[in-house]
Amino acid sequence: MNDNHDEEHGSFLSKLFSKKGEPSNQNELEQVIHEASENDVIDEDTEDMIQGIFDINRLRVSDVMIPSSDIVAINLNATLEEAAKVVLEHGHSRYPVISEDKDHVVGILLAKDLIPYTAGLKTLTGGIKSLLRNPVIVPEAKHVNAMLKEFQQNRFHIAIVVDEFGGVSGLVTIEDILEIIVGDIDDEYDTQVNSENIIRSKDDGSFIINGLTPIEEFDEYFETDLASLADVDTVAGLITHVWGKFPKVGECIDIKNFHFKVLEANERRVHLLELHVSEKTDEE
């Protein structure tokens, strides 16, 4: 069985390196992987996953963290009912617990640790402070691959990220890192795309566009042909392709007679866009 595996492994590498020989550095290897995808030796998903592995070696925690402004935290003085309400509203499994503000994280609260008390199976004494796990603190400059290894070795899933002055700049989870490799990981709390709400008109004549709107549906709705501009599946994919990078919230881009403004986005995906449509010119 091992012999068969070695033969298949060797055959795969032979296909990759058959034209240019073995690469001598990472840039050459990435080019070989890209050409292998273009020549259908591997599919695009495989290329994306391999590229994700390369990316975690380059990126720092600051590149993938959830910024402090987006952190959902629970106050140390919150009652059991108040903490449970936050968990119910946001659906996360872990929450930073703060004393004064987000720069003062005193621990991590796991949602599952609340269950015995909210179910009446146990009585909570000493407030939620008695349920806290010690927070793991990491610097912004920490490399993502090192962060992933630390997650794996020490069996924790969330870390608080601090800047050079010790202020909290964000948090990072093991899911954030894995998504670099395998793409977005949706769980039961992630919003599912409703086909009736992917394009929503506003009273002022503009539109709200879900980033996951299939490009074909966008073209059909607006009687256009943006799909011809790039080999992408969604509006978010087109925006990223034309931009040449992942756009940030508030940034704008014009594609033909469509003016897009990013309303919601993270480092890996454009979630929500505002769209203004102008009159077509003769050239369009």
pLDDT of 16: 58
Q: Does CATH number 3.30.465.10 belong to domain 199-277?
A: yes
Q: Which fold has domain 63-182?
A: CBS-domain (3.10.580)
Structure token digits, residue 126: 């000493």
Decide if 141 contacts 78 (C-beta within 8 A).
Answer: no
The CA-based dihedral angle spanning residues 199, 202, 208, 214, taken in that order and rounded to the nearest 10 degrees: 20
- Per-residue confidence of the chain (284 residues) as pLDDT tens digits? 555 555 555 555 555 555 556 777 777 777 877 787 777 777 777 877 887 788 888 888 988 888 888 889 999 999 999 999 999 888 889 999 999 899 999 999 999 999 999 999 999 988 999 999 999 999 999 999 999 999 999 999 999 999 888 999 999 999 888 888 877 665 544 444 444 457 888 888 999 998 888 899 999 999 999 999 988 888 988 888 888 777 888 899 999 999 999 988 865 678 889 999 998 765 55
First-residue to last-residue Cα distance in the chain: 59
The label of the residue with tokens 């550095």 reads 25
Label each residue of 38-56 as H, E or C.
HCCCCCHHHHHHHHHHHHH
Between CA 70 and CA 95 the distance in angstroms is: 12
- pTM of the entire predicted model: 0.59
Cα-based distances in Å from 224 to 130, 171, 236, 255, 278: 59, 41, 16, 11, 13
Domain spans, the chain = 2-42, 63-182, 199-277
